[in-house]
């Protein structure tokens, strides 16, 4: 079903990306991308990970917290994908801080860059297998991930 949404709603918009104003393209993509994002979340966290946990008899099934109640972007990013957050915290942030004697801000930036590059590789790999994606779209997730850092820092500094 997600492939059909892509073929019927997203691909035609992306094929006319150069001819259409950016705001109009964005508005046309909000609902289908939201649908695919929601279905991907449910499929991965409620389906695949719980199935894997059932087969492996993994007891701790805390794959996400109540991210919908987050008050800032930093809290949301910690709560919506618990396994990735814990992996990045333990194996990138703490490792970079202890091994290279980095400050918290520098270790945080190393973690965010690592996460952005890894998510970009996953995005490109998944979409290269399923469908051919327009070249300009491949940079959007990395740019969005990388440009969210000022928002994170702003939220931490001016949290009320």
- DSSP assignment of 53-77: HHHHT---------GGG-SSHHHHH
Distance between CA atoms of 119 and 160, rounded to whole angstroms?
A: 30
CA of 153: how far to CAs of 14, 21, 40, 72, 124, in Å?
32, 31, 28, 10, 27
Q: Which of 119, 127, 134, 154 is catalytic?
A: 119
Q: Give 32-41's long-range contacts (Cβ < 8 A, gap of 24+).
A: 32/5, 32/6, 35/2, 35/5, 36/2, 36/5, 36/6, 36/10, 39/1, 39/2, 40/2
134 is catalytic: no
User: Helix or strand or coil: residue 131?
Assistant: coil
The catalytic site residues sit at 119
């Amino acid at each position: 079903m997600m492939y059909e949404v892509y073929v019927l709603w997203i691909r035609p918009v992306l094929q006319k990306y150069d001819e259409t104003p950016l705001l109009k393209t964005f508005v046309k993509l909000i609902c289908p991308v939201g649908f695919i994002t929601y279905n991907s979340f449910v499929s991965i966290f409620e389906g695949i990970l719980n199935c894997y946990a059932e087969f492996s008899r993994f007891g701790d099934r805390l794959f996400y917290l109540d991210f919908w109640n987050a008050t800032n972007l930093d809290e949301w990013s910690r709560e919506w994908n618990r396994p990735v957050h814990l992996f990045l915290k333990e194996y990138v942030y703490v490792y970079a801080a202890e091994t290279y004697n980095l400050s918290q801000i520098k270790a945080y930036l190393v973690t965010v860059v690592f996460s952005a590059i890894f998510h970009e590789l996953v995005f490109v790999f998944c979409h290269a297998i399923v469908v051919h994606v327009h070249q300009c779209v491949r940079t959007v997730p990395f740019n969005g991930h990388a440009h969210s850092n000022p928002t994170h820092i702003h939220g931490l500094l001016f949290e009320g």
